[in-house]
């Protein structure tokens, strides 16, 4: 007897997606190499989303509509859909995005041909007229095809969404999404950890992610969260649980394996560079009044991590500690105590000691602010921080000029060390 189950289940959470849900559905239903089912979970939309999906489902039995009783966010919608999927393989699609032509077929063929447990396809960004790939995403672990694992290719963690990938159902058992933001990161990374060295990365572009144009893009946790430092701070708190869950899965899967350290360091690096850098930079750029909340929440995040891990993190120093110091006047007054608390929470380590020396005044400000927590120490540190901000352009000019002179004076044929 033939197995009536579909080969691939496509899970689509939808909230007020009337303008795009039909396009998303059509892009998934075009698959030819595998039998598909599309589970659309409507998260209590107030537009015509339900009517549109129901009309398509009446004409195509591969479409299943599930209506949530109340709005619970994308994670709740995905969890509701997980209870309905029947396929051997699972992939995710957001209602405002689309699978590229042949995308599901490429993922499924790779899964069958390579006996993988997870297949990672390429994702492109689109504003409707232009497509691009961000610098954070454009790294060999993601972009170069081949057999991979998170333990040996930690750069894969910079592609932590569930979209653009195909998961064998055996590595998803018991996994649940949690939280309105960051909910897909722990789910995805835990599933990929379970896949071990049976992750196949393919070169095919399979997924189109709808985003603002590159001139307006700002790296952050979600488009909504990047618009407010206070809301970004809420997501930083969610990251505490996300990091804990991923590390716990790594400890379970990689028992007595030294690569567990790679996962710990790699996921911290990913969170800071991809999810925290944007909110911090934007808070300074706009002098956001919610900056105090953002830095208070960053204090909690750093405090939840092993001190030795934080001490080794270049990203924490480069992306969280240094931007406010060198742009001090833009940090709101009421956020400065929280910043100093965060700075003091970072243990001394190689990341702090090896910062480029053209920021000597900023280094002095940071050291004084960290070592002398009283009012006098903070006052001196803030004066130095302001001086560093003023002197930074002059220091950069001086260092560049000196480098140019050295190049001119270097004897012919001599190479720089």
The domain spanning residue 12 has which CATH number? 3.90.550.10
Domain C-terminal end among 143, 178, 210: 210
Q: pLDDT band at residue 406, thresholds of 50, 70 and 90? A: low
Residues 82-118: pLDDT tens digits? Answer: 999 999 999 999 999 999 999 999 999 999 999 999 9
Between 152 and 227, the more confident residue is 152
What pLDDT is recorded for position 376?
Answer: 78
Between 277 and 370, the more confident residue is 277
Residues 224-275: pLDDT tens digits? Answer: 444 588 888 888 999 999 999 999 999 999 987 888 999 999 999 999 999 9
The answer as to whether 260 is a domain residue is yes
Q: For residues 363 and 384, what is the distance between their CA atoms, to the nearest angstrom?
A: 9
Q: For residues 366 and 377, what is the distance between their CA atoms, to the nearest angstrom?
A: 10
**Residues 260 and 368 both lie in one domain:** no
Q: pLDDT band at residue 402, thresholds of 50, 70 and 90? A: low
Q: For residues 6 and 90, what is the distance between their CA atoms, to the nearest angstrom?
A: 10
349 and 311 Cβ atoms separated by less than 8 Å: yes
**Residues 34 and 181 both lie in one domain:** yes
Q: pLDDT band at residue 58, thresholds of 50, 70 and 90? A: very high
Burial 167-205 (b: 16+ CB within 10 A, else e): bbeebbeebebbbbbbbbbbbbbbbbbbbeebbbbbebb
The pLDDT of residue 414 is above 70: no
Structure tokens at 401: 């000029």
Structure tokens at 71: 């709005």
The pLDDT of residue 280 is above 90: yes
**Residues 324 and 402 both lie in one domain:** no
Give me the helix-helix angle, 74-82 and 184-195, nearest 10°.
Answer: 40
The Cα-based distances of 206 to 69, 328, 408 in angstroms read 32, 43, 49
12 and 52 Cβ atoms separated by less than 8 Å: no
The pLDDT of residue 397 is above 70: no
Q: pLDDT band at residue 38, thresholds of 50, 70 and 90? A: very high
**Residues 230 and 343 both lie in one domain:** yes
247 and 188 Cβ atoms separated by less than 8 Å: no
**Residues 279 and 390 both lie in one domain:** no
- Predicted structure pTM score: 0.87
**Residues 375 and 240 both lie in one domain:** no
The answer as to whether 2 is a domain residue is no
What pLDDT is recorded for position 398?
Answer: 52
Domain C-terminal end among 162, 187, 210: 210
Cα 352 to chain centroid, rounded: 24
Domain C-terminal end among 331, 355, 379: 355
What integer is the mean pLDDT of 200-216?
A: 86
Residues 296-325: pLDDT tens digits? Answer: 999 999 999 999 999 999 999 899 998 998
**Residues 175 and 223 both lie in one domain:** no
Q: For residues 287 and 153, what is the distance between their CA atoms, to the nearest angstrom?
A: 37
What pLDDT is recorded for position 1?
Answer: 39
The answer as to whether 137 is a domain residue is yes
What pLDDT is recorded for position 354?
Answer: 59
Count of domains observed in the chain:
3
The pLDDT of residue 356 is above 50: no
Q: For residues 105 and 35, what is the distance between their CA atoms, to the nearest angstrom?
A: 10
**Residues 347 and 390 both lie in one domain:** no
The answer as to whether 264 is a domain residue is yes
The pLDDT of residue 189 is above 90: yes
16 and 46 Cβ atoms separated by less than 8 Å: yes
- Residues of the chain with pLDDT > 70, as a percent, come to 88
Q: pLDDT band at residue 212, thresholds of 50, 70 and 90? A: confident
**Residues 342 and 381 both lie in one domain:** no
**Residues 78 and 117 both lie in one domain:** yes
Structure tokens at 135: 């610098």
**Residue 377, domain extent:** 358-417
What pLDDT is recorded for position 219?
Answer: 42
What pLDDT is recorded for position 395?
Answer: 52
Residue 322 has φ and ψ, to the nearest 5°, of -75, -40
**Residues 294 and 161 both lie in one domain:** no
Residue with tokens 């032509």: 101
DSSP codes of every residue in 236-285: HHHHHHHHHHHHHHHHHHSTT-TTHHHHHHHHHHHIIIIIIHHHHHHHHH
Rg (CA), the chain: 24
**Residues 296 and 201 both lie in one domain:** no
The answer as to whether 3 is a domain residue is no
Helices (H) and strands (E) in the chain, counts: 17, 10
What pLDDT is recorded for position 213?
Answer: 65
The answer as to whether 276 is a domain residue is yes
Look at residues 42, 40, 16 and name the one whose alpha carbon lies nearest to residue 27. 40
Supply the mean pLDDT for the chain: 88
């Amino acid at each position: 007897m033939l197995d009536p189950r579909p080969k691939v289940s496509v899970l689509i959470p939808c909230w007020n997606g009337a303008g795009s849900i039909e396009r998303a559905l059509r892009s998934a239903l075009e698959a030819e190499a595998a039998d598909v089912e599309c589970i659309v979970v409507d998260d209590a939309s107030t537009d015509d989303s339900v009517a549109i999906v129901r009309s398509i489902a009446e004409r195509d039995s591969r479409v299943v509509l599930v209506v949530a009783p109340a709005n619970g966010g994308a994670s709740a919608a995905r969890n509701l859909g997980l209870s309905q999927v029947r396929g051997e393989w699972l992939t995710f699609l957001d209602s405002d995005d689309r699978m590229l032509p042949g995308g599901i077929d490429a993922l499924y063929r790779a899964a069958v041909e390579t006996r993988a447990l997870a297949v990672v396809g390429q994702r492109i960004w689109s504003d409707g007229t232009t497509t691009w790939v961000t610098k954070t995403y454009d790294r060999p672990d993601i972009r170069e095809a081949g057999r991979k694992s998170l333990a040996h290719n930690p750069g894969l963690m910079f592609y932590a969404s569930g979209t653009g990938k195909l998961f064998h159902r055996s590595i998803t058992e018991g996994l649940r999404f949690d939280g309105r933001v960051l909910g897909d990161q722990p789910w995805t990374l835990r599933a990929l950890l379970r896949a071990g060295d049976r992750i196949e990365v393919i070169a095919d572009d399979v997924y189109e992610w709808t985003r603002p144009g590159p001139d307006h893009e700002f790296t952050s946790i979600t488009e909504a969260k990047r618009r407010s430092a206070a809301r970004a701070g809420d997501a930083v708190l969610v990251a505490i649980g996300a990091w804990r869950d991923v590390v716990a899965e790594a400890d379970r899967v990689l028992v007595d394996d030294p690569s567990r350290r790679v996962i710990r360091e790699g996921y911290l690096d990913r969170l800071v560079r991809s999810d925290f850098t944007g909110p911090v930079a934007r808070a300074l750029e706009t002098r956001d009044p919610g900056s105090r909340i953002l830095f208070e929440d960053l204090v909690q995040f750093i405090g939840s991590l092993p001190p030795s891990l934080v001490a080794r993190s270049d990203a924490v120093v480069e992306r969280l500690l240094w931007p406010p110091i060198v742009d001090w006047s833009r940090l709101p007054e009421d956020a400065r105590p929280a910043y100093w608390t965060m700075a003091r929470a970072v243990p001394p380590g190689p990341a702090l000691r090896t910062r480029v020396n053209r920021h000597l005044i900023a280094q002095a400000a940071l050291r004084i602010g960290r070592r002398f927590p009283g009012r006098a120490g903070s006052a001196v540190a803030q004066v130095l921080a302001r001086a560093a901000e003023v002197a930074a352009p002059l220091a950069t000019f001086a260092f560049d000029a000196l480098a140019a002179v050295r190049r001119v004076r270097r004897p012919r044929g001599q190479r720089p060390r």
